[in-house]
A and B are shown apart, each in its own frame.
Chain A
Amino acid sequence: MESENIVVSLRGLSRSYREGEQTRVVLDHLDLDIARGECVALLGRSGSGKSTLLNLISGIDLPTAGTIRVDGVELTALNERERTLFRRRHVGFVYQFFNLIPTLTVEENLLLPLELNRRDKGAARRTAIALLEEIGLGDRRTAFPDQLSGGEQQRVAIARALVHDPLLVLADEPTGNLDADTGRHVLALLDRLTRQAGKTLIVVTHSKAVAGLADQVLTLANGHIAAQAREVAW
């Protein structure tokens, strides 16, 4: 893989937690490169460190050892505020439980990342409305999240993750809380929007359907990448 095309680079990455007297190693000297525009699926049992890896890549958490470079920036060298500002600008998140802001309308949820990034108000509004139209929720702009179905909420969450044009989209079991049919639709939307915009997508999943869309499938076990498959056909 050519180095200028690498967006995420992990070297000797370790993360362990103290649990009483014991130390639990979640990630153990992990090395990984992810290319620009690539879709990576992370598989593994519960507790294998998938979500931890996402938190480390987004700068939410810090490793016990090793380095994390995202778009050439060494996250491990940044302080908390710098990591927050980096995440604000370059990362979009999609969660299993949507995590929309319940006290903001659908449109305001989309405007929030744009406002945080100090985008022009008029342009931000146009971007948000256009994206809502694209995901088929143009008529639900003023609704609050609790007035939407699970599938609709996840579509809004995907739109929010992409609205500020991030470098990297991180998704943690995006279809885990949806029925199979809705899950398929949401997945298709996520795939279409990220690939269309050339974004790098890292998705944690248990679903074969999700993994099927990935360019690279990684399985985490015992703190290591146990299996790596490129363009696997499931």
Chain B
Amino acid sequence: MRALVRRASWRHLWRHPWQMVLAILGVALGVAVAVAVDLANTSAERAFRLSMANLAGEATHQIIGGATGVDERLYTRLRIDAGLRASAPVVEAYGKSGDETLHVLGVDIFAEQSIRGHLNGISEVALQRLLSHPNTVLMADLTARRLGLAPGGRFTLRLGGRRTEVELTGVLATSARTAAALDGLVTTDIATAQELAGVVGRLSWIDLVLPEGEQGKDLRRRVERLLPPEVTLVAAAARTEAMTQMTRAFHINLTAMSLLALLVGVFLIYNTMTFAVLQRRGLIGTLRVLGVTRAEIFRVVLGEAVLIGVVGTVLGIVIGIVLGQGLVRLVTRTIDDLYFALTVGSLLLTPAPLIKGSLMGLAATLLAALAPAMEAATTVPRTALTRSELERRVRSLAPRLALLGALLALGALVILLLPTRDLVTGFVSLFMLILGMTLIAPAVVAGVTHLLAPVAGRLFGIQARLAIRGIAASLSRTGVAIAALMLAVSTTVGVGVMVSSFRSTVAVWLDATLRADIYISAPSLRSSRTASQLDPQIVQHVRAVPGIEAIASGRSVTVESGHGLTEVFALERPPGRGPRYLLRAGDPAAVWRAFGANEAVLVSEPYAYRHGIGIGDRVRLRTDDGERTFPVAGVYYDYESGPGVVLMNRELYERHYRDRAIGALGLYLRPDAAMDEVMAALRAALGGGQEVLIRSNREIRQASLEIFDRTFTITNVLRLLSILVAFIGILSALMALQLERAKELAILRATGFTPAQVTGLVTVQTGFMGLVAGVLAVPVGLVMSLILIHVINRRAFGWSMQTLVPADVLIQAVLLALLAALIAGLYPGWRMARTRPAAALREE
């Protein structure tokens, strides 16, 4: 490429720095969101995989138990009777110190060498102390630093409602490779872990190393002969994979949201590059006269896009890493709330998200610059090509774009009707629909302005007519700006309606399900679940408190099933009372009769959807008596658990599991009992023992909705970022537009418009653009919300929900678009009003 041609073109960019800065910012924000989400996703997944890998170590298989884990005597039998030396027992629990979630791992130090190597660097003295002193632990150096601890230091560990003062006897040195796996891990002797978790005599699982080949098969057979019916032997990798699959939909959802921000960024780049080309049509025309070929012009414009793309991408990656730090905490919290406890100490900087982000940023920039570059290359080599001719071309293109948009939207609907449960297909159709709607936008803008200009003129005078005609006259710029803003605002409507619908569905569901007056549970990491146990004496103390008419109890355990690890919720309902689960499928009378008669279980809607289970099907669960199948009597609505739940009557549970523990209690008060008095009596009766949460119906309802809102924090953050990108887009478009109209505005000034009138003209125009974008965003957003509610959420989580369209979401959206456009129009308006007409008129 000719150096001078390139120089002439690039100097133009340098002379309009704001234009370049906005374009770079658009790319940067788009890339930043994509990279941040990717990094947060990858960090969570990698931390999970690494901790699982670290946890599994060399283990090829694991012996896992039923509801209450594995009896520790089995371990002794394995080592002695089966001669299996390469085996190690594990007690696993999650606790807290301050706000820090800690993964507590109880191990047999002597058996560890054959399985995990992470204790290798620990001094003999520290290991001796770990064995000989109760409540002593080891942790990774970076976790200790974060907690402000040094060897010998003491801290309070909260686990299942128990607070224990523990001593840090040594730290595990971490490298860059092992940091993610060991961060947040607290290793202790197996006896200490059993004490801390309140599971004396039980193990979470036993790790085994079984060699390959015949010898391994033979050993496996010997091991299996020793196993009691409640435990099972599974491949270590299969368990990790099953847990990873659980969160897949959640990660896909986040990625899709981040891509939306990038899509808005693409519009911004397109806008900037188009303007850069239009602004230089004279210069390009002269270059063409001088003999610069189309291909050379094309390369120059694409070269600029590459420059903007590279700088924006680099900046985006830096912002993405910063943003990722905050996002990883939100992602981890959501996984904690919905799926399982996860410790992610810090953001893991792996090359893949950065490379992906870079490629996406560059590809998006080049894609967005392609049309403007082609436009530049086909510029007629003379300067006589008028702006009006260009706009005429764009206006004639608008109906064709609208047709293409309509076809895309139609294609999206066809894809939606395909009989598939694939989430990615759902997102593809959503994106096709969004793209289709944005392509239709310019034609709608042209039509609306054509209809409204005379009306505005009659109502508000020549100024309003001028402003509205200006929008149609510069459709190449205004159409794109309105489409970008509409896209971002419609996302707000779509996601807003989806969240509102979801929230109201959950609120109705909570009202129906939470029937007890007071709930008592042990603190748990997953705040909505009842996996922790209440001390048996608590139940006795509660029964002695006056004013209580009936007590329901719940116990949540995770067991192996035909569908991987499954949460079983054992429910004891007092006669005539208890939670009223809303049924999605099944006749209530028949369902509850079968449930009460211990003839069948119920499955939650996500579980049924995920595994294709319906009424009359059977679920296979590993019980303490071996594998058993249970008929399904009904499917109930549940919005607590991502993977889903099998609901079982307590009596049936106790028939198959020797677990008698209780996770939570639901208390029904006598009609004459005062809630405050009973609460006070409960607090007095239960004080001093295990730490428990005593919450009224209202409090637990509120806590559940808080968890719900927390789950959507990340969605809201991403939504706001999309709007920010769109705002920059419309600011850039408006500044470009007004700058281009400098001469026209100077003529108005020369003919007697005051600076205030010019500002007014610009404000009316930008306000109208915002209004059109806002109004168009409403139907597009509503269609998006329907897809999000009935396709995406259903396919991702298996949840069905009622559609609720709150008027405030729609009004807010229109106001948001209007406000964004008006704010974006402030600076161009001010600038245009200050332009000296003589200078603008003199400019050629």
Report which A residues bind B (CB closer than 8 A).
Answer: 51, 55, 58, 60-61, 80-81, 84-85, 87-89, 91, 93, 95, 97, 99-104, 108, 111-113, 115-117, 160
23 A-B pairs with CB atoms under 8 Å apart are A60-B289, A81-B293, A81-B295, A84-B293, A84-B381, A85-B291, A85-B293, A93-B289, A95-B383, A97-B383, A99-B286, A99-B289, A102-B12, A103-B9, A103-B12, A103-B15, A108-B4, A112-B2, A112-B8, A112-B290, A115-B4, A116-B5, A116-B291
Which residue of chain A is the closest to B14 with respect to CB atoms? A103
B282 and A104 contact, CB distance less than 8 A: no
| Separation of A85 and B844 alpha carbons in the complex (Å) | 28
B844 partner residues in chain A, CB cutoff 8 A:
97
A101 partner residues in chain B, CB cutoff 8 A:
8, 283, 286-287
The B1-18 residues at the A interface (CB cut-off 8 A) are 2-5, 7-12, 15
Given the interface contacts A113-B290, A116-B292, does A103 sit within 8 Å of B7 by beta carbon? yes
B306 partner residues in chain A, CB cutoff 8 A:
none
Given the interface contacts A84-B294, A88-B290, does A108 sit within 8 Å of B7 by beta carbon? yes
B382 and A112 contact, CB distance less than 8 A: no
Q: Check B384 for interface membership: any CB of A closer than 8 A.
A: yes
A111 and B383 contact, CB distance less than 8 A: no
Interface centre among A51, A80, A93, A112 (most CB of B within 10 A): A112
B8 partner residues in chain A, CB cutoff 8 A:
101, 103-104, 108, 112
Q: Check B380 for interface membership: any CB of A closer than 8 A.
A: yes
B293 and A99 contact, CB distance less than 8 A: no
| Separation of A72 and B332 alpha carbons in the complex (Å) | 76
Per CB-CB distance, the 10 closest pairs between chain A and chain B, nearest first, are A88-B291, A103-B11, A99-B286, A101-B8, A103-B8, A112-B4, A60-B381, A84-B293, A104-B8, A87-B291
A87 partner residues in chain B, CB cutoff 8 A:
289-291, 381
Which residue of chain B is the closest to A90 with respect to CB atoms? B291
Report which B residues bind A (CB closer than 8 A).
Answer: 2-5, 7-12, 15, 282-283, 285-295, 380-384, 844
A99 and B282 contact, CB distance less than 8 A: yes
B290 and A116 contact, CB distance less than 8 A: yes
| Separation of A80 and B4 alpha carbons in the complex (Å) | 22
B381 partner residues in chain A, CB cutoff 8 A:
60, 84, 87
| Separation of A227 and B3 alpha carbons in the complex (Å) | 46
A102 partner residues in chain B, CB cutoff 8 A:
12, 283
CB distance from A84 to the nearest CB of B (A): 5
Interface centre among B9, B286, B295, B844 (most CB of A within 10 A): B286
Interface centre among B8, B285, B295 (most CB of A within 10 A): B8
B4 and A104 contact, CB distance less than 8 A: yes
B383 and A99 contact, CB distance less than 8 A: yes
A104 partner residues in chain B, CB cutoff 8 A:
4, 7-8, 11
| Separation of A110 and B259 alpha carbons in the complex (Å) | 47
| Separation of A108 and B290 alpha carbons in the complex (Å) | 13
B5 and A112 contact, CB distance less than 8 A: yes
| Separation of A81 and B288 alpha carbons in the complex (Å) | 11
Q: Which of A81, A93, A97, A103 contacts B290 (CB 8 A)?
A: A93
A88 partner residues in chain B, CB cutoff 8 A:
290-292
The tally of CB-CB contacts under 8 A between chains A and B is 81
Which residue of chain B is the closest to A104 with respect to CB atoms? B8
| Separation of A93 and B287 alpha carbons in the complex (Å) | 11
| Separation of A61 and B15 alpha carbons in the complex (Å) | 32
Known: A81-B293, A97-B844, A112-B290. 20 other contacts (CB 8 A): A51-B384, A55-B382, A60-B381, A61-B382, A81-B294, A84-B293, A87-B291, A99-B285, A99-B289, A100-B286, A101-B286, A102-B283, A103-B8, A103-B9, A103-B11, A104-B4, A108-B4, A116-B2, A116-B5, A117-B291
B287 partner residues in chain A, CB cutoff 8 A:
101
| Separation of A25 and B536 alpha carbons in the complex (Å) | 102
CB distance from B4 to the nearest CB of A (A): 5
Interface centre among A80, A87, A103, A115 (most CB of B within 10 A): A103
A160 partner residues in chain B, CB cutoff 8 A:
290
Interface centre among A51, A84, A111, A115 (most CB of B within 10 A): A84
CB distance from B371 to the nearest CB of A (A): 20
Which residue of chain B is the closest to A98 with respect to CB atoms? B844
Which residue of chain A is the closest to B285 with respect to CB atoms? A99
| Separation of A97 and B9 alpha carbons in the complex (Å) | 20
Which residue of chain A is the closest to B295 with respect to CB atoms? A81
| Separation of A20 and B51 alpha carbons in the complex (Å) | 72
CB distance from B307 to the nearest CB of A (A): 15
Given the interface contacts A112-B5, A115-B3, A115-B4, does A103 sit within 8 Å of B283 by beta carbon? yes
Which residue of chain B is the closest to A177 with respect to CB atoms? B844
CB distance from A95 to the nearest CB of B (A): 7
A84 and B11 contact, CB distance less than 8 A: no
CB distance from B536 to the nearest CB of A (A): 84
Which residue of chain B is the closest to A92 with respect to CB atoms? B290
CB distance from B842 to the nearest CB of A (A): 11
| Separation of A101 and B288 alpha carbons in the complex (Å) | 12
Which residue of chain B is the closest to A84 with respect to CB atoms? B293
| Separation of A51 and B4 alpha carbons in the complex (Å) | 28
Which residue of chain A is the closest to B13 with respect to CB atoms? A103
B289 partner residues in chain A, CB cutoff 8 A:
58, 60, 87, 93, 99
CB distance from B563 to the nearest CB of A (A): 64
A91 partner residues in chain B, CB cutoff 8 A:
291
CB distance from A82 to the nearest CB of B (A): 10
Interface centre among B12, B288, B295, B382 (most CB of A within 10 A): B382
| Separation of A81 and B382 alpha carbons in the complex (Å) | 16
A108 partner residues in chain B, CB cutoff 8 A:
4, 7-8
A55 partner residues in chain B, CB cutoff 8 A:
382
CB distance from B289 to the nearest CB of A (A): 5
A89 partner residues in chain B, CB cutoff 8 A:
291
| Separation of A88 and B289 alpha carbons in the complex (Å) | 8
| Separation of A58 and B380 alpha carbons in the complex (Å) | 13
CB distance from A86 to the nearest CB of B (A): 8
A60 partner residues in chain B, CB cutoff 8 A:
288-289, 380-382
Given the interface contacts A101-B286, A103-B283, does A84 sit within 8 Å of B291 by beta carbon? yes
B292 partner residues in chain A, CB cutoff 8 A:
84, 88, 116
A112 partner residues in chain B, CB cutoff 8 A:
2, 4-5, 8, 290
